[in-house]
Structure 1
Amino acid sequence: MTNTVVSPVLEVGDLHVAYGKVEALHGVSLAVGGGQIVTVIGPNGAGKSTMLNAIAGVMPNNGSMRGTLRLLGQDTADVAIETRVARGMCLVPEKRELFASMTVEDNLLLGSYRRYQAGERAYADQMAVVYDLFPRLQQRRKQQAGSLSGGERQMLALGRALMAKPQLLMLDEPSLGLAPLIAKEIFHIIVGLRQTGVAILLVEQNARAALQVADYAYVLETGDIALQGPAAELANNPKVIDTYLGLAKKSH
């Protein structure tokens, strides 16, 4: 079974990534369509973050990567990270990487810098959209980013990414380090983003939450896609339940 989408925003084919002589990804293939949430779950060390970094162009391609990567039908495997961003790709990394001494509003404006550079006059209009999604950020727009709570920092990282009006939003462990109620709020926001038409590739350690919000899911184990299918089906798959949902199920 494959994730067949009519007009895929992202297509990854037979992606191999190596660190020296050690191969971290062994031919990963996946697709994400517009308005679709696709999640990749798996244990620590499976290669999930490596996969996102390779797609985003964060990793230097010195012969350690091979495979095909298409964004909106364009070959993107060998273009610079700046070009990938300009084409509509945006990664929200696990560490969020905010500018702590800058205000919330200035962090958001930085997210639209590429649009400003490209001469878009309406680049700041997206601020109103972000504030609608994250009213708390509007309340704290003059505060330094470093003074925010963990949940607010994650909201700011998401909001900054959305300022670029991405076609593809890649999220690396958005619930990491957050209290359960705050994580639930973040996932609720992610579901809401689907309605904007943005394609979302979600890497998440909390398999239960990820499968609840996603349309389609891949299970990555030691660099290989072990399972894939509609998220609702994988949530009922005995292997997935035993390996990834068993402990959570017993705790409720």
Structure 2
Amino acid sequence: MNAGLSKAAGAGPILDVKNLSVAYGKVEALHGASLAVASGQMVTVIGPNGAGKTTMLAAIMGQLASKGEISFLGRPQTRTKVEARVMEGMTLVPETRELFSTMTVEDNLLMGAYARHALGDRDHEKTMEEVFHRFPRMKERRDQLAGTLSGGERAMLVLGRALMAKPKVLLLDEPSLGLAPLIVKEIFRIIADLKQSGVAILLVEQNARAALQISDYGYVLETGKVVLEGPSVDLQHDQRVTETYLGGAALKR
């Protein structure tokens, strides 16, 4: 079992990645990376731009060809297409925050429930009310076109749309990217609350300080390789992490 599983998180990983490698032509962007996420656990991957963080998420989601082993819910995913992974409960929120800009906020949210609807689930109205409870601003703007939202509102909407799928594991790619500090604080508060609801979260984030504060376990990815891992509370006080990613100041316990 991967060392990333916390004792409180359960007996085994809901997502288990071993020796994952991805190449763009002759250039290998990810080299033998391994990580694990247990049910109800939040794991973060930090690292500089170009380290391979987004590549890792895309490969786990099945959007990129890769070598290695990806197991989700105890089942190998090597030959599983993206759509099947979504149906099983894996959801990716990309850093691009792509929305259907000419559709309303409510219709964008309904698109998130499409896979569950195809499987016969008809509880999307209840799920939407749960999303509105987490994102009151989305309820206020439910009839507004998504293309007219601010950057922070777009970030909330893509998170809300992902939750409409009722994911078992949520892959978040740079949720704080390009947002104002106050919005970043709100987004991370919401992500921390999501963990309390029981969903497993794999968070890729350049804001190492904020990510380590809310996660259980962390991995440091540099030049396509996992160079360090451990409980987030330990990484917050690791000299290499503090000097490189936290501005030289360890986080307070």
TM-score, normalised by the number of residues in structure 2: 0.94
> How many percent identity over aligned positions?
61
Q: Are the aligned partners of 1:38 and 1:217 in contact in 2 as well (CA < 8 Å)?
A: yes
Aligned length: 245
- In the alignment, what sits opposite 2:119? 118
Alpha-carbon distance in structure 2 between the residues aligned to 1:188 and 1:122:
26
What residue identity is the alignment partner of 1:99?
A: F
Q: Which of 5, 19, 38 does residue 33 from structure 1 map onto?
A: 38
Alpha-carbon distance in structure 1 between the residues aligned to 2:223 and 2:182:
31
Following superposition, the deviation at residue 14 of structure 1 comes to 0.6
- Listed as ranges, the matches of 1:1-252 within 5 Å are 2-5=3-6, 6-59=11-64, 61=65, 65-246=66-247
Alpha-carbon distance in structure 2 between the residues aligned to 1:95 and 1:26:
24
Deviations for 1:163-186, whole angstroms, at most 9, x for unmatched residues?
000001000000001000100000
Following superposition, the deviation at residue 118 of structure 1 comes to 1.2
Alpha-carbon distance in structure 2 between the residues aligned to 1:136 and 1:168:
25
Deviations for 1:82-140, whole angstroms, at most 9, x for unmatched residues?
00000000000001111111100000000000111111122332101101110110010
Alpha-carbon distance in structure 2 between the residues aligned to 1:55 and 1:124:
30
Alpha-carbon distance in structure 2 between the residues aligned to 1:128 and 1:180:
27
Q: Are the aligned partners of 2:243 and 2:249 in contact in 1 as well (CA < 8 Å)?
A: no
Q: CA RMSD in A?
A: 1.3
TM-score, normalised by the number of residues in structure 1: 0.94
What residue identity is the alignment partner of 2:196?
A: Q
Alpha-carbon distance in structure 2 between the residues aligned to 1:164 and 1:106:
14
Alpha-carbon distance in structure 1 between the residues aligned to 2:142 and 2:249:
36
Alpha-carbon distance in structure 2 between the residues aligned to 1:146 and 1:238:
43
| Structure 1 segments (4+ residues) deviating >6 Å | none
Alpha-carbon distance in structure 1 between the residues aligned to 2:23 and 2:222:
15
